[in-house]
Amino acid sequence: MSDCLFCKIIAGEIPSSKVYEDDVCYAFNDIAPQAPTHFLVIPKAHIGSVSEVNADNSAVVAHIFEVIAKLAKEMGMESYRVVSNIGEQAGQSVFHLHFHVLSGRDMTWPPG
Ligand code: 5GP
Ligand code: ZN
């Protein structure tokens, strides 16, 4: 999508701090980290949010979770949180599917 911030990051039109990349997904550090480790994992193909996941594209989501597990092991993350906000009321501000991966500090539950 031409006016999507994360599509522009994938295209290299906006710089980002890369954590991982393959044919399906891209991971990069969040510009406003909420924990000592805070990166985002996004599909390269534009999907608006979890609410647009379906039988045709869910393999991408499964792959992203494999990547998250692999990166967590490689980075020595024993405890971490994976978050995806769907819709403005839940805190979604960029409407390209992304999974926040947060680690390195105590976290509360339930979230605010
Ligand atoms: P959301 O609020 O949609 O769940 O998460 C969007 C995330 O994208 C936020 O945590 C925000 O800090 C991050 N973000 C917004 N703009 C940029 C940017 O230009 N570069 C990077 N690396 N992260 C961004
Ligand atoms: Zn996009």
As a residue count, the chain comes to: 112
- Type of residue found at 87: G
pTM beyond 0.85, yes or no: yes
Residue 15 Cβ contacting ligand 1 at under 6 Å: no
Residue 85 Cβ contacting ligand 1 at under 6 Å: yes
- Closest Cα to atom 1 of ligand 1: 92
Across 14-23, average pLDDT? 98
Say how far apart CA 93 and CA 33 lie, in whole Å: 15
pLDDT of residue 2: 82
Neighbours of ion ligand 2 (CB under 5 A): 1, 4, 6-7, 46, 96
Number of Cβ within 10 Å of residue 28's Cβ equals 20
Across 24-38, average pLDDT? 98
In sequence order, the 6+-apart residues with CB closer than 8 A to the CB of 46 are: 1, 4, 7, 96
Determine if the peptide bond prior to 110 is cis (ω within 30°).
yes
Residue 91 Cβ contacting ligand 1 at under 6 Å: yes
Across 82-89, average pLDDT? 98
Catalytic residues: 98
Across 22-44, average pLDDT? 98
Average pLDDT, the chain: 97
The residue among 95, 70, 79 whose CA lies nearest residue 35 is 79
pLDDT of residue 56: 98
pLDDT of residue 1: 78
Percent of the chain past pLDDT 70, that is, above it, reads 100
